């Protein structure tokens, strides 16, 4: 076992507290802007024993497909994978809510020994007539990958019996990280695309991709597009429907946010149906405006007659929204000016937009990272952040807590797993993850974001937190306090 032994020496084990929080093997996944040439290792397997904030392949597939509200989502595996993803996201539906239920084959020891195919088939026969879904997604988990159930065959037979698409999702947890899960989800959705009627779809139309309608965010974007004169064919997958996916190939353009999650599907649709795609972001101010203008520009160029007046409509929209937003932001900014923020999110696109969004609050992002960014993503991030900013891939609690202390940030933007780290250090927090119940996209989302940050950072409670108490007592005190 010399390979595992070489990283460790007796001194390290006996004096852990003197050792900094960064694992030797992870040094090249962290970059401090301005210190040496930019270079970062990414998309690497998480380090054993390091408490990565990442999840697994199954998680990647599950989050992407989750908001498809009229599909049955059946997890083929032991109970945990389904239990931990029951009603987990803030994805809203304007109609059916089948996605908010949790279905599992709850594999038992005997199933593991003799195979779970029969149980899966029976489960589908039970659930499909009960809920009459438009389609069923069947997720593979670690165990299914090992016992060798032929998911595709069971799904095909069930599909023939019930007359709806029953789609296997090859999401065995151990076969990579979240990114592989995104790809498996895209492959599953691809089987639906192209099977529906597109005759009533305008050429001036889009699919909203990589947005999950958390707190109704897809509806905000849909409203902007409709004010620009653009039809939305499918939310992929925000407020998602099986029939919308079936006819998504009728759209004139795919607009793709959260590049990791649905860009694979956008590429497939480009290659198979010739639908171009644009990368967009619905977070912040510039990014939202630029995204809307880019969409308008695309249609002005490709459909000049149909799209006549689209640029005017778009700039009117942006002006109207900013006229409401900016005065309110100014108010909030007065208190926030000069404060420092840390950002650690799932996808790197969001990190970009948040760095820019914080500038509108007069705040600086001093730590930025993601679970699944690429080296190119981080290079671009490093280019827009100030020297000294820490850029990190696939971080863990030890690193994050050390960075928060070092940079003395005022607020942390992340998900549920990061929240207690920030709170234990007496630092404000904003949930920007998939559990959020407050819309943070679009111009109205920027205002909500600013309010969220303000509400946390400006709370009087921080003065009582031990770390702040110490800092405050060390600061020059008012006259007469000390002899």
418-447 binders of other proteins (CB under 8 A): 419-421, 423-426
* 449 in contact with other proteins (CB under 8 A): no
Q: Which of residues 127-166 bind other proteins (CB under 8 A)?
A: 127, 141-143, 145-147
Q: Does residue 455 bind other proteins (CB under 8 A)?
A: no
Residue 471 CB, nearest approach to other proteins (Å): 10
Using CB under 8 A, pick the residue from 36, 37, 49, 479 that binds other proteins: 49
Here's the x/- map for other proteins, 68-87, by CB under 8 A: it reads as ------x--xxxxxxxxxx-
Candidate list 41, 42, 50, 322; residue touching other proteins; CB under 8 A? 50
Query: Token pair 């790809």 is at which residue?
Result: 183
DSSP secondary structure letters along 233-244 = EEEESTTB-HHH
Total of chain residues touching other proteins, rule CB under 8 A: 86
Applying CB under 8 A, does 301 fall inside the site for other proteins? Answer: no
* Inter-axis angle of helices 442-457 and 310-336, nearest 10: 0
Site for other proteins (CB under 8 A): which residue of 28, 45, 272, 337?
45
The two structure tokens encoding residue 94 = 């304007």
Q: Which pair of tokens denotes residue 433? A: 């993850």
Closer to other proteins by Cβ: residue 71 or 450: 71
In b/e form, how buried is each residue of 1-18, taking b as 16+ CB within 10 angstroms?
eeeeeeeeeeeeeeeeee
The DSSP element (H or E) to which 254 belongs, if any, is strand 253-256
- Binder of other proteins out of 31, 89, 119, 241 (CB under 8 A): 119
DSSP 57-83: HHHHHHHHHTTBTTEEEEEESSHHHHH
CB of 276 vs other proteins, minimal distance in Å: 34
153, 86, 169: which is closest to 117 by C-alpha? 153
345 binds other proteins (CB under 8 A): no
Q: Which of 30, 57, 192, 269 binds other proteins (CB under 8 A)?
A: 57
Window of 247-255, 303-311, 416-424, 446-454 that interacts with other proteins by CB under 8 A:
416-424
Which residue lies nearer to other proteins by CB, 146 or 308? 146
- Residue 315 binds other proteins, judged by CB under 8 A: no
Instruction: Give min distance, CB of 303 to other proteins, in A.
Output: 44
- In the three-class reduction of DSSP (H, G, I as helix; E, B as strand; rest coil), residue 405 is classed as helix
Q: For the chain, how far is it from start to end, CA to CA, in angstroms? A: 63
Cα separation, 383 vs 460, in Å, equals 35
């Amino acid at each position: 076992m010399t390979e595992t032994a070489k990283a460790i020496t007796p001194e390290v084990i006996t004096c852990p507290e003197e050792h900094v929080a960064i694992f030797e093997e992870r040094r090249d996944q962290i970059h401090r802007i301005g210190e040496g040439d930019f270079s970062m290792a990414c998309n690497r397997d998480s380090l054993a024993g390091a408490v990565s904030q990442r999840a697994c392949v199954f998680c990647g597939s599950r989050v992407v497909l989750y908001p498809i509200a009229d599909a049955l989502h059946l997890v083929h595996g032991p109970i945990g994978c389904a239990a931990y993803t029951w009603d987990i996201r803030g994805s809203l539906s304007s109609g059916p809510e089948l996605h908010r239920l949790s279905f599992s084959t709850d594999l038992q020891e005997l199933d593991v020994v003799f195979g779970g195919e029969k149980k899966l088939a029976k489960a589908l026969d039970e659930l499909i007539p009960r809920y009459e879904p438009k389609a069923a997604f069947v997720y593979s988990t670690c165990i299914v990958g090992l016992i060798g159930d032929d998911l595709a065959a069971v799904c095909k037979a069930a599909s023939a019996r019930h007359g709806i698409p029953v789609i296997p999702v090859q999401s065995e947890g151990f076969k990579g990280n979240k990114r592989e899960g995104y790809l498996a989800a895209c492959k599953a959705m691809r089987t639906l695309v192209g099977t529906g009627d597109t005759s009533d779809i305008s050429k001036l139309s889009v699919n909203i991709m990589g947005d999950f309608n958390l707190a109704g965010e897809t509806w905000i974007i849909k409203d902007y597009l409709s004010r620009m004169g653009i039809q939305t064919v499918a939310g992929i997958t925000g407020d998602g429907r099986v029939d919308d996916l079936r006819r998504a190939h009728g759209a004139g353009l795919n607009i793709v946010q959260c590049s990791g999650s649905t860009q694979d599907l956008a590429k497939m649709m480009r290659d198979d149906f010739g639908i171009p795609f644009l990368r967009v972001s619905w977070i912040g101010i510039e990014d939202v405006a630029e995204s809307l203008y880019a969409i308008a520009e695309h249609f002005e160029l490709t459909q000049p007659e149909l799209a006549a007046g689209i640029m005017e409509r778009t700039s009117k929209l942006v002006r109207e929204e900013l006229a409401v937003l900016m005065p309110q932001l100014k108010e909030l900014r007065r208190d926030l000016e000069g404060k420092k923020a840390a950002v650690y999110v799932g996808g790197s696109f969001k990190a970009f937009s948040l760095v820019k969004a914080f500038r509108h609050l007069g705040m600086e992002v001093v730590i930025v990272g993601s679970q699944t960014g690429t080296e190119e993503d981080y290079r671009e991030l490093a280019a827009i952040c100030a020297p000294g900013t820490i850029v990190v891939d696939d971080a863990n609690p030890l690193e994050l807590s050390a960075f928060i202390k070092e940079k003395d940030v005022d607020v942390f933007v992340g998900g549920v797993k990061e929240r207690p780290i920030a709170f234990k250090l007496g630092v404000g927090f904003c949930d920007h993850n998939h559990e959020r119940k407050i819309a943070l996209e679009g111009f109205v989302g920027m205002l909500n974001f600013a309010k969220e940050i303000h509400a946390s950072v400006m709370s009087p409670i921080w003065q009582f937190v031990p770390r702040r108490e110490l800092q405050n007592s060390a600061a020059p005190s008012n006259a007469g306090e000390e002899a």
